[in-house]
Chains A and B, each alone.
Chain A
Amino acid sequence: MAKASSRRSIVALRGLTIASLKMYFRNRTALFFSLFFPVMFIVVFGFIFKNSNATFKVDVTNQAQSALATQFTEALGKIDVLKVKTVATDQASTDLNKGDTDLTLTIPAGFGTSGPQGVAAAPIIAHYNAARPGNGQAAAQIVSQLANNLNNAITKAPQIVTVAATGVKTKNLSYIDFLLPGMVGLSIMQLGIFSVAFGFISYKTTGMLRRLQATPVHPGNFLAAQGSTRLIMTVVQTIILVAIGMLMFNFHLSPVSWPAFLVLALLGSVVFMAFGFAIAGWAKDENQAAPVAQVIQFPMMFLSGTFFPRDSFPPLLERLTGFLPLTYLADGLRHVANDGASLWAVRGDVLGLVVWGIVSAVIAVRLFRWE
């Protein structure tokens, strides 16, 4: 007699998922490589930027004699993340060229001197090394924030220095806080695209899929089992990477942000698995799948702001790369970790991922071939 189909599906799905997990964890090489690159990137970059990024070096050349100029340089000196050195003009440009400083500030002669209309506007000139824009831009931002606070203070209240100092000390983030969410995104992309596509194609080419079709279980159950295995792996991988970041490099992820972080990771995993199934369903063998998987993965690795911020791109490229699925995932994860954003706060990224998920799922269904 025919057994109730729902019970069969549950038993089959459970059996297939357990089997998939066993296969996954016993395949040591695959397991190693799915974690190796993200962990390596985190450890290598984490160590490179561990110290240098905690502080920015600023050379200050003070050409003004006013009290305001003195107050400004004193305020700079009180900011923990800035290492301020007062130097002559020549020295500042040499330091910058040699990479010994992240930012040079020149306070012009007229700065802070009172004229008939009050305090005259004289811009502080800032230079940073274009070859290492990350640090210079960050330092410049801190300084301009200080300047803004000073401006506010001048028009509103005489308490200049204190306001400025508290204004810039709100965050103590370092490069690891930028890097790690990107690496989590990268590992999710690899797991989704590579591991799904190649795993599935091998089941297809060796005839295992056909053997499954000879049983009364619909092969869709097998896809579901593959998917749930990858979702479990996504959670495990994400926890491992975040743990390494937290223990070794002081990565920040507040306990209340964990759920949102994992939900985003799982959503990203679904999106990239749809990519993987689209490739696996379309390709006849590994040789067909490999170039397609590379063409999809490789550019995203560098264009989605996983290693360095996209704001150093030309405006058009920055705009276009904003639509990449890995950008949505990495940005979303970063906001959740760095700013403690809720899922609602990153709804733009969530929406972007959902749209990509739907599009790639439709493509996967269209391209899918069992043989």
Chain B
Amino acid sequence: MSHILEVTDLRKTYADGFEAVKGISFGVKKGEVFGILGPNGAGKTTTLEMIEGLRPITAGKATIDGLDVAKNPYAVKERVGIQLQSSAFFPNLKLVELLQLFNDLYAETSDPMELLREVELEEKANAQAKELSGGQRQRFSIATTLVNKPICIFLDEPTTGLDPQARRNLWDLIAAIKQRGTTVILTTHYMEEAQVLCDRIAIMDEGKIIALDTPDNLIQQLLGRGFKPHTKVQAATLEDVFIDLTGKELRD
């Protein structure tokens, strides 16, 4: 499989001298779900924003579909879909109108209703973004990234702050997007999420990638180093209990 995203020795140093990203390299294969994990302040969002062309690159290089991001930011943005960490939408516009606006921004002609159907928000077509619940907002936000039929979408902490039902619902949506052959690059704090969704993950800390592999391989490597879990591993988690008791249907 060829790499759709290639990052080489990427660095970010802010004006105050702070090194947010200290020379990282990785590649993302076409069609995979790639996760960037790490504690707060590890440099995940800065990395994404440099790759997306939203933040100037201090040194190094990022190419998407063979295009140098720094040299062709507009051409790159035509090909990708970007969901930002905080999703704000213009006030006083209905969801269909917002999607039509995004259509215009990409000079595209996607059907807004079709996009809403994909993210299960058809019945909210005439609602405004502020009337949506957290999970609905995130789903709508993902719909706006699909307007231009991107080859690759970036999701920055898409499930942060959602309840378990909404989170699992979003996992289904991300899996469906992957099914269509769209590459997904996401950041997350949730290890279970990374394990379920991601084909490969990069773990970042203090501006560096400290591990990069499939979730299974990373776990095997850890066990190979003689790791013993603190608690006895159970066949189910507390979240499984919660979902089993409260049901899988969305509450928003």
Contact = CB atoms under 8 A, between A and B. Distances in A.
Q: Do A and B assemble together? A: yes
Interface of A: 2-3, 5, 7-8, 11-12, 14-16, 18-19, 22-23, 26-27, 203, 206-208, 210-218
A216 B92 contact: no
Q: A-B pairs with the 4 shortest C-beta distances? A: A15-B104, A214-B82, A26-B92, A206-B88
Interface residues of B, number: 26
A164 to B, nearest CB: 61
Interface string B70-109: 0000110110001010111111110001001111111100
B32 interface: no
11 contacts: A3-B107, A11-B104, A12-B105, A15-B105, A19-B90, A22-B92, A207-B84, A207-B88, A208-B89, A215-B77, A216-B74
A301 to B, nearest CB: 29
Contacts of A15: 100-101, 103-105
A368 B205 CA distance: 34
Contacts of B91: 23, 27
B6 interface: no
A259 B249 CA distance: 62
A281 B16 CA distance: 22
A212 B78 CA distance: 12
A334 to B, nearest CB: 36
Nearest to A24: B92
Contacts of B88: 206-208, 211
Given A23-B92, A211-B89, A16 B52 contact: no
B107 A8 contact: yes
A234 to B, nearest CB: 20
Nearest to B103: A15
A13 to B, nearest CB: 9
B54 interface: yes
Contacts of B84: 207, 210-211, 214
Contacts of B104: 11-12, 14-16
Given A22-B92, A214-B84, A2 B105 contact: no
A214 B52 contact: yes
Contact of A19 (B77, B86, B97, B106): B97
Given A19-B90, A19-B93, A27-B91, 8 more contacts: A15-B101, A16-B105, A27-B92, A207-B88, A214-B52, A216-B105, A216-B106, A218-B74
Given A15-B103, A15-B105, A214 B54 contact: yes
Contact of B93 (A12, A22, A203): A22
Nearest to B98: A19
Contacts of A5: 74
Interface in B178-199: none
Nearest to A26: B92
A215 B80 CA distance: 9
A3 B78 CA distance: 9
A218 B78 CA distance: 12
Contact of A216 (B77, B87, B103, B144): B77
A198 to B, nearest CB: 13
Contacts of B144: 211
Contacts of A18: 101
A213 B54 contact: yes
A203 B90 CA distance: 8
B105 A215 contact: yes
A18 B144 CA distance: 18
